[in-house]
Structures are given as structure tokens and as C-alpha cells.
Structure 1
């Protein structure tokens, strides 16, 4: 009953889910609080919120109840594993979602629900069962490395033709492989910047120029976007040159719309990990998903063997 109230933040919703009366739920919660000697909820009218002690207790018992459920399903012969994966929106849209049909074909027993996040979520069973994250500071979790991010400049096929014309380059096929575009030449064109990578205006392009001991030119034309997905779309529609990473151009059919410019890449310092609670390490569904993600990351070139 406590788990239902904490998850639904409502005594009445918990009562409806458990098919009992609200007074029965309230009575049991009071008994539990008396037994533990701690208040588990703050009550303000119909609003119910967890106390600090209640939140700590919920994190612990939520995982335990889930393990009981999984053990019961295995004993009953139910192979289905229902998992919630919290994942960055760009990673989900550009890398994970196109691969989900293969996951469903290879492991039909896994019922995967995606929880999209724009920032690093708090690692907790209340949020999801497992995570794609760049932080490894939660001590109760285990981590599997998937990708070390690097940024490189791209533009559309049409825009690349424009760059070659303005640079006066020979566009014969044999000559293209020898082309190298310098930072100074790139700065002559509109730069599409993603704010969320370094959380400051033009931080991505500043880092890219800094990688070769240069500064972002003061006269550079920079167009700002909050998210890499937006910057990449602007590049697709011939608005300039964007910095993107490997997974954004991985396996999507529209990846052929873009040209990776013959220039250097910069490592951002962000590393992407698959994270799961160590106490749930024996759950078959989590380990199956972990192995599949690692295999796909290797196959797609995000990480080595």
C-alpha cells in the first residue's frame, strides 16, 4: 500500500488500483508509520508528498517489490520483462529508436518503455529501471560504457557543393578525397551552435577551435539552438555548418543527407553509460538489454570490442 501511494501520490488512486477503500489505505499507512516511528508522507488536503524518510524508504522497497514480482513471473513461466529506460532525447531519436525493431525481433520478451530526458535524470527506481547517462556518481548503480562523445562539422549535400564553389575547389571525384577545410575557411560560413552541449553560447564551436589552439573568430556568424536535433535540422535545410556527434548520424536513412567536412573532431569529455541499480544486477531483462546495447554500440562503431 505504501508503494502504491508513493508512486501515485494519492491515497484515493492507490485505493482504486488495489481495489480497497481509501480508509483501509490510510489506516495501513498510519500503522506503518507507527511501526517505523517516522512520518512517511506530508498531507495537505488531497496533496500527498513523501518526506525525506519516505523517499528513502520508497527507493529501497520499490526495488525489493520489483524483484519479488520478477521472481514470481519467472517461476510462473512468464518471460516478459517490463523495463523503463530513461534516455536522452537526441540519443533516443537518432540512435535507439531506429534500432528498436531489432531488439523486438531478437528479444520479444522485453517490453521497453522509453522515458525521454533532456538533462541527466536522478538515478532512482522512481524514475526508471535503467538509464543512459553521462554521470557515474550514484554509488548504488553499475555502469557500462557505450560511447565517448566527439564533435565534428557537418552540412547538407547542397551546402557542401556551395562551399566547394565559393572556395574555388576542383569538384572532380579524384580531387575530393584530398580536400581539407581549415578552421579559418569554416568560419566564413554560418556556424550552427548547440547551447546544451557546454551550456554557454557558442561553447561547442569555441571548443572546436580551441582544439587546434585557435579562438572562435569575433566576426563569425553564429546561429544558436538549444538542442543538437534543432541544429542538425537547420544544417539539413542548408542554413550553415553544425557540430554533431557519431550517434546523431548513425543508421538513420537521412544520414546520407549530410556531409562530414574534412576537418578535425573535438572530444567533449562526455561519456555515455548504460546504468542499472547494482542490487538488480541479476534481473534477466536488464542484463539482456545491457548486452544488446553494448553489441549495437560496437556494431555501430560507437565503442570498440
Structure 2
């Protein structure tokens, strides 16, 4: 039979998968015997694979010191790359295997803040009634630029023009109000007024890397909506901290380090539990800023997708 293409030299010269797996196990456990036990093979098999790999590379990968082994500089370089590559292969094959199994699986994409501050303490309720669903959660602040091959079944986002093929269900509009701990309020009673709040420690959300999430609402914007007389830049307050990591700001507020702006759907449970309080009644209702549930139309009738969609809608309604 005539050949249609030249041999792939890169693939032909690549070390065997079995040898790389043995090497990673030996490097991880620093002992050939423990590596053999982890892979359910003999110690001799591990030694042979390592020896063949070292011969192929023309350098030693381990320094043998009694029962333990240590990586050489070449071994360290190879381990850093090999471990990550093998983990990536494992994760991909597991995802494919799950997709072909009887167990139902879904991929959800949302912001890091929604994942950390809302989803993390809500999912136990979903799994208690849907133990047969595997959920893969991907967080991003860049909804418009997803990595190739990532096609979530469900999005929760304000970015409605994601891509063709997704159905849109409105969940809620955003409401923003100041929050702090009861201890911080007790120590700073002046923050019961807008002016006193303006002169206190403000934990601010900056826009870096967030352009695809929404319009920016920071302390200056929030104060401007409350009173045109409060126009001193937030950065000129006695103590000011800024970050684009919203979860960090809320954690700092929980640690009594200042005032943060609380998005109601993210901090409501913390207020209800008494971990945070609202020092003033003023709030900013962003009725045009709506969070949507975006569903891949190909999965609209999928039982797992339908159950998760119904659960999400119920959670936000309550």
C-alpha cells in the first residue's frame, strides 16, 4: 500500500506513555517501591521504565540516596511538564468517559464571585435531590472569549450576546447596598450616615479585567446615585483599598476591615445569618442590569439540564 504521508517524527520520537507515568509516580512518591504500589506494578517494572527513559534522554533523572530518590535538575524540568500533561489527559478522558456513562453531567459557567459566594453554599441542596448529576463549574470574567473546546450547557451572566444557540431566561435585576460586620458598625457608629460612611474605610471594586461582566459600579458611582453632594473621590477617603476580586473584598469586610458594596444576590445570606449588616437603608436598584440564565438549546430537553434550570430559577425566586 502506498504511503500518503511522511512518518511523524515528533510522535515517533516521543517517550512512551507508560514510561512517563512511571516517572511521574516515582517523582511524586520519591520511592520506586511506593510508585510501583501506586500503579499496581512491580518495582522492577518501574526501575526498567525509568532506566529506559534516562537512556533515551541521555541524562539521569533521579539521584538515588538509599530508599529515597531525588530529582535532578533535568528531572525537575521534566516532572513539571509531565505531571501537568498527564493530569490534563486524565481530566479530558474522565470527562469523555462520564459523558458516555449513564450518569448525567452538566457544565455550568459563571463568574468567580457567583461561584464562591452563592453557588458554593447552595449546591448541597441541588445534589441532595439530584445525586446522579455530575456538575462541572467553570468560572470566568471573560464570557465573550472562551477557550477552544469549552461549550458550557448553562451560563449565568449579564452578557446576553454570548454566541448563537443559547436560550435566555431572566433571573433577577441587581441591587447594591453597603455592608460591614456588626463589630465594625459598633466601632464606627458614624457610618450610619452617608457622609460618615464616605469618610471611613472603603473596600472598592475596580474594573480591571471585568469589562465583559457589566458596567462598573464602585463607591463613587454608588454615592453619586444617592447624593450629588457626595462627590469626593473614594480614593481620597482616610483608608481606601481597591481590588477586582469581589470575593476578596467581601472576605475583608467579614474580617472587620471596612465597608464593601454588597450585591444582594451574593451577600443576602450573609446578612440574613448576621455575619454582615446594612449600616444604612439606602440602596441602588439596577433594574436594567439583569442576570440571565443562558441554556444551550441543544440541551433544552435534557433531563439534567432541565432539572438544574428549574432549581436555579426556584433558588433565585426565593
TM-score, normalized by length of structure 1?
Answer: 0.61
- Given candidates 252, 258, 282, the residue that maps to 1:264 is 282
- Given candidates 68, 77, 81, the residue that maps to 2:104 is 81
Task: Report the 3-state secondary structure (helix = DSSP H, G, I; strand = E; otherwise coil) of the residue aligned with 2:304.
Answer: helix
- Given candidates 152, 156, 165, the residue that maps to 1:132 is 156
- Deviation track 1:265-285 (CA, whole Å, cap 9, x = no partner) reads 113453221211223322111
Note if contact 1:153-1:243 (Cα within 8 Å) is conserved in structure 2. Answer: yes
**After the TM superposition, which parts of structure 1 deviate over 6 Å for at least 4 consecutive aligned residues?**
none
Q: Cα gap change, 1:125/1:274 in structure 2, threshold over 3 Å: closer, same or farther?
A: farther
Matches within 5 A, 1:70-109: 78=102, 80-109=103-132
- Deviation track 1:128-169 (CA, whole Å, cap 9, x = no partner) reads 2221111111342101222211210011111100122xx4xx
Unaligned segments of structure 2, at least 5 residues: 1-10, 18-95
Aligned to 1:145: 170
- Deviation track 1:84-122 (CA, whole Å, cap 9, x = no partner) reads 111211111111121111111111221111112233254
CA RMSD of aligned residues (A): 3.3
Worse overlay, 237-246 or 138-147: 138-147
Q: Cα gap change, 1:253/1:209 in structure 2, threshold over 3 Å: closer, same or farther?
A: closer
Matches within 5 A, 1:45-60: none
Unaligned segments of structure 1, at least 5 residues: 1-10, 17-65, 168-179, 300-305
Higher gyration radius (CA): 2
TM-score, normalized by length of structure 2?
Answer: 0.59
Does residue 230 (structure 1) correspond to residue 245 (structure 2)? The answer is: no
- Given candidates 273, 291, 295, the residue that maps to 2:314 is 295
Aligned equivalents of 1:99, 1:203: Cα separation in 2: 26
- Deviation track 1:14-47 (CA, whole Å, cap 9, x = no partner) reads xx9xxxxxxxxxxxxxxxxxxxxxxxxxxxxxxx
Choose between structure 1 and 2 for higher RCO, CA contacts under 8 A separated by at least 6 residues: 1
Note if contact 2:271-2:277 (Cα within 8 Å) is conserved in structure 1. Answer: no
Aligned to 2:237: 220
Does residue 182 (structure 1) correspond to residue 182 (structure 2)? The answer is: no
Aligned to 1:209: 223
Task: Report the 3-state secondary structure (helix = DSSP H, G, I; strand = E; otherwise coil) of the residue aligned with 2:282.
Answer: coil
Note if contact 1:84-1:114 (Cα within 8 Å) is conserved in structure 2. Answer: yes
State the Cα distance separating 1:208 from its structure 2 match: 0.7
Aligned equivalents of 1:150, 1:126: Cα separation in 2: 31
Aligned equivalents of 1:181, 1:140: Cα separation in 2: 48
Aligned residues: 216
Aligned equivalents of 1:189, 1:251: Cα separation in 2: 25
Matches within 5 A, 1:29-44: none
Task: Report the 3-state secondary structure (helix = DSSP H, G, I; strand = E; otherwise coil) of the residue aligned with 1:257.
Answer: coil
